[in-house]
Amino acid sequence: MTLARSDSTAGVLPMAVAYPQQALVYQKKVMVVLPWWKQVSPVTSFCVAQLIDRRRATSILNFGDAFVAHSRNTCVDVFLKTECEWYLTIDDDMVVPFGSAAWFKAHTRFDDFPEKFLSLNAMDRLLSHKKTLVGALYFGRHQYGPPVYNEAGVSPQEAEYARKAPHDLVKPTRWVGTGCMLIHRSVFEDIERQFPSLARGVDGRHGNWFTSTEASLVEQVKALRDRLQDGPLDGQKAYAALSSIEGALAKAQAENTLGYGEDVSFCLRAAAAGHQPYVDLGLVCGHLGSFCFGPRSTTQAKLLHG
């Protein structure tokens, strides 16, 4: 795909993005999305290249944008201008299985994985679940790095279970990391309907699907304001307004995305728009740092590499 280099400013790396009109040339089912920042491991580049079957997939690279939420939003802007149905996003530090068990094992050192999991193709595996939002399992890039999905981050028992992966199991979760995530286009469209303040402008740009905001609270306050402006304010209406404020605050506490990562923000927003996030405990990706972190190495990182 032809890439366009944006104008650079002092202290900002140039960013390469696909022209929306160029993306329209490809009428494919899946767009492989690469919101990458700076240096990328050759291992990541190679496994991603093996995934992109040009008969069914196209791709977009957004390179050099250090603000990851903005980078992800930019890619969605482009994606929604195509007829692609699925958005497969892969981060620049992931080792993703693509069908070669020997290669994946050699570059992850997931030596005790059964071959059927080593030889998975990430795109095929995620598509097979027929979920609108599903992510692979991976682990934090540090000693004792946690499994990157909600329940394993708050429950030691769930984290212990995740460290025994792979399990041929797809589980609902409050949120899952965006390192390797498949998203149906309806998720983005429904988020725009649920949160109009986050939607794209008339030029089809600047959507805010991944941005951390209090969008849920803002939308409810606007609706309350409109109700209060409609007709006289009597005691019954004031009491109903108070109840609405209490409900809005409770909902905001549950869905507040300020201070969360963009992956958490996005998943909470998707769930509010009717799309349950899932984590695939059978599709386990490596996470590159000082070495390739995974379910076993994150419990022994200091012993093996300290």
> Taking the chain (306 residues) in consecutive chunks of 10 residues, what is each chunk's mean pLDDT?
36 40 56 93 96 92 90 96 96 97 97 97 97 98 92 95 97 97 98 94 94 63 63 63 59 55 92 97 96 85 40
Q: Coil, strand, or helix at residue 47?
A: helix
Question: What is 3-200+262-305's CATH number?
Answer: 3.90.550.40
Q: What is the pLDDT of residue 256?
A: 55
Q: What is the pLDDT of residue 238?
A: 61
DSSP symbol at 7: P
Q: Would you kindly state where each structural domain of the chain is located, as residue ranges?
A: 3-200+262-305, 215-255
Q: What is the pLDDT of residue 150?
A: 96
Q: What is the pLDDT of residue 2?
A: 32
Q: What is the pLDDT of residue 112?
A: 96
Contacts 24+ apart (CB under 8 A), 83-86: 83/24, 83/27, 84/26, 84/28, 84/29, 84/30, 84/31, 84/58, 84/185, 85/29, 85/30, 85/184, 85/185, 86/29, 86/30, 86/31, 86/127, 86/182, 86/183, 86/184, 86/185
Amino acid at 228: L
